[in-house]
């Protein structure tokens, strides 16, 4: 059975909800769970556009450390439980293009401001095999649309899982609720789907709600505030993407009510990944 690696920590409660959903869904399907490596990493904050501009390179180094740690631990399938960090994940260079200064084996403390993480060198040292070879090892079709290869691991992309579900239901106009960085990006862009984003004022409400969840404060009042944001788009949308993994945490404890479809980026991806285990 495959070994699953979960990169969490950007939103610790979201990581916990992902794991809980994975377990509950496996019970429902009467499917055995594999060995799971859950890495809770204290990522540098990059939720606003300004924060992301300052910390983007640091986040990429942190992600590289996490990928390496999971690969050293033997994970063959991985998932990153944070929508915003998928943007930095896409900017990580091909292992063969990583500077030699980061390719030394062993564990060392990197002291500079842009390299605050413990680095193991094996992920950088690996030469990624052909996609078809990896797919044969994992019994995954080479054309699996939701997976991408990182070294000897496959990575499940949360936005792709959500968009696949959107297409399955046939919704065309979606309100994207997430961090400023996510909403300003093309992370959820797809041909045939129109994305709408909150106004500056409404985005401020979403930002505060996300911060509350990150601080461990989950309350019904915040769910009502998100409902008000959604109501402002009621006539223009078919559904709502909870495109920050902290919003599904709020939705899990205090359901966000809407007449429109709500796409939960944590639970959709957790249920999807069971297909590959």
pLDDT tier for residue 149 given thresholds of 50, 70 and 90: low
Fold of 161-265: Rossmann fold (3.40.50)
What is the pLDDT averaged over residues 243-252?
98
Q: Same CATH topology for 4-159+270-276 and 161-265?
A: yes
Q: Is the pLDDT of residue 128 over 50?
A: no
CA-nearest of 182, 169, 172, 161 to 247 is: 182
Q: How much is the average pLDDT of 100-106?
A: 36
Q: Which of 133, 148, 164, 137 is nearest to 80 (CA)?
A: 148
Nearest CA-CA partner of 52 in 228, 179, 172: 179
> Could you tell me the pLDDT band of residue 45, with boundaries at 50, 70 and 90?
confident
CA geometry: angle at 167 spanning 185 and 19, to 5°?
70
- CATH class (in words) of the domain with range 4-159+270-276: alpha beta
Judged against a pLDDT cut of 90, whether residue 225 lies above it is answered with yes
Q: Where are the domains of the chain?
A: 4-159+270-276, 161-265
Q: How confident is the model at residue 242 (pLDDT cuts 50, 70, 90)?
A: very high
- Give the helix ranges, DSSP H, for 91-157: 122-125, 131-138
Q: How far apart are the first and last CA of the chain?
A: 7
What is the spatial distance between Cα 174 and Cα 26, in angstroms, rounded to a whole number? 29
Q: Is 263 exposed, middle or buried (0-12, 13-18, 19+ CB in 10 A)?
A: buried
pLDDT in the model for residue 126: 32
pLDDT tier at 180, thresholds 50, 70, 90: very high
Alpha-carbon distance of 65 to 72, in angstroms, equals 10
- Tell me the C-alpha distance between 245 and 108, whole Å: 31
The whole-chain average pLDDT of the chain stands at 82
What pLDDT does residue 263 have?
98
The pLDDT of residue 134 is: 37
Span of 103-107, 172-176, 199-203, 225-229 with lowest mean pLDDT: 103-107
In this structure, the number of other CB atoms found within 10 A of the CB of residue 211 comes to 13
- The whole-number average pLDDT for the span 93-101 is 46
Q: Are 179 and 213 in contact (CB under 8 A)?
A: no
pLDDT at 165: 96
Q: Can you give the pTM of this predicted structure?
A: 0.81
- Average pLDDT rounded to a whole number, residues 151-180: 93
User: pLDDT > 70: what percent of the chain?
Assistant: 78
**Under 8 Å between Cβ of 174 and 237:** yes
How many residues are present in the chain? 277
Packing angle of the helix pair 12-29, 246-253 (nearest 10 deg): 60
The pLDDT of residue 94 is 52
């Amino acid at each position: 059975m495959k070994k699953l690696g979960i990169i969490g920590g950007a939103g610790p409660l979201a990581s916990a909800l992902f794991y809980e959903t994975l377990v509950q869904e496996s019970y429902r399907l009467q499917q055995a769970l594999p060995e799971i490596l859950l890495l809770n990493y204290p990522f540098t904050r990059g939720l606003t556009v300004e924060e992301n501009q300052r910390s983007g390179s640091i986040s990429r180094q942190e992600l590289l450390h996490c990928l390496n740690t999971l690969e050293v631990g033997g994970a063959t399938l991985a998932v990153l439980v944070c929508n915003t960090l998928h943007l930095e994940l896409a900017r990580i260079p091909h292992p063969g293009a990583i500077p030699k200064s980061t390719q030394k084996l062993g564990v060392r403390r990197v002291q500079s401001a842009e390299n605050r993480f413990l680095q193991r060198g094996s992920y950088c040292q690996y030469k990624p095999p052909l996609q078809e070879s990896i797919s044969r090892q994992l019994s995954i079709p080479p054309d699996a649309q939701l997976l991408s290869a990182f070294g000897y691991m496959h990575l499940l992309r949360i936005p792709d899982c959500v968009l696949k579900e959107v297409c399955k239901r046939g919704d065309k106009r979606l309100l994207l609720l997430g961090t400023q960085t996510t909403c300003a990006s093309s992370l959820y862009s797809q041909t045939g789907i129109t994305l709408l984003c909150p106004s500056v004022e409404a985005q401020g409400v979403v930002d505060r709600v996300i911060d509350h969840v990150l601080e461990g404060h989950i309350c019904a009042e915040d769910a009502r505030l998100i409902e008000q944001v959604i109501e402002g788009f009621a006539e223009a949308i078919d559904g709502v993407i909870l495109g920050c993994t902290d919003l599904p945490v709020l939705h899990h404890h205090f359901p966000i009510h809407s007449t429109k479809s709500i796409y939960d980026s944590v639970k959709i991806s957790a249920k999807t990944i069971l297909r590959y285990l």
